A = this chain, B = another copy of it.
């Protein structure tokens, strides 16, 4: 029987989602395991391999898995090593040769890995909104801002395997917000889900403007979204501000690689109704005339729950 299936694994700080995927992007079987209950890389890989054996059996896919793709924080595509992944309990410090370890446990099925945003870009190109595109930039708007850059049909890994840290390019040069990376003013301190909540909290503190958000003890991006839905002026302005900052930076990105489109994905991208117009406006105002109105802004069409597995699986082909 043809080896016509792949496995996609999305490893996050809390869970690892795994699925057996066919060439059309159907997930045939899947499971989720915890990625937070061990500090031993060996134990995590052993548990993961067991889970994979289970979903392979479920899919009747024994002997048909062509490759395994993994999206994982700080994953180096070139070496298969996970480097200083502070968000993973079992990989906090040092370098874990994750691809080799998993491949050994899986009887030699080839394992490729990259970071989650690059995996998302592969997913969009293989099954999603970027099918047929050879030049695009994937921006993932989640807790942080991730990016995967595709040029000539290939993900850009750069000299060392870590290219595409657009969330850490500078959005605000002076007096910018401190970022987890140690710098200040990074795009992700403003334009992530965390950034949106932070903007709202700052503005509530700085003014007396009435807002539905004032009644809440804790403000998260979803609260800002819900308030905007109800027409809350402050919440609406938070999205306008966030969209403008994104659009300003997208103009810079376009001037770098002249992509056909910028593709948005992730929790915050669900606020499309509030973000799309200000992003487009700022993008067009800040890009040189050559590209004005010519670069698409695309919102991912992949089903959110499947996208992470699909993205990683695209690496398996």
Q: Tell me if A210 counts as interface (CB < 8 A to partner B).
A: no
| Interface members, chain A 110-165 (any B CB < 8 Å) | 134-135, 149, 151-152, 154, 156-165
A170-B248, A183-B286, A251-B170 given; A164·B256 CB < 8 A: yes
A170-B248, A248-B170 given; A257·B149 CB < 8 A: yes
Shortest A135–chain B CB gap in Å is 4
Q: Tell me if A288 counts as interface (CB < 8 A to partner B).
A: yes
B149 with A256: CB separation less than 8 A: yes
Residue count of chain A within 8 Å CB distance of chain B: 41
Rounded to whole angstroms, the CA-CA distance of A69 and B152 in the bound complex is 22
A152-B154, A248-B170 given; A182·B259 CB < 8 A: no
Interface pairs (25), CB distance under 8 Å: A134-B159, A135-B158, A135-B159, A151-B158, A152-B156, A156-B258, A157-B258, A158-B258, A159-B260, A160-B258, A162-B258, A162-B290, A163-B258, A164-B255, A166-B255, A166-B256, A168-B255, A169-B251, A169-B255, A169-B256, A170-B252, A172-B173, A173-B173, A181-B289, A183-B288
Contacts from A to B (Cβ < 8 Å): 134-135, 149, 151-152, 154, 156-166, 168-170, 172-173, 181-183, 248, 251-253, 255-260, 286, 288-291, 294
Other contacts beyond A149-B257, A169-B256: 5, CB < 8 A:
A161-B258, A165-B258, A166-B256, A253-B256, A256-B257
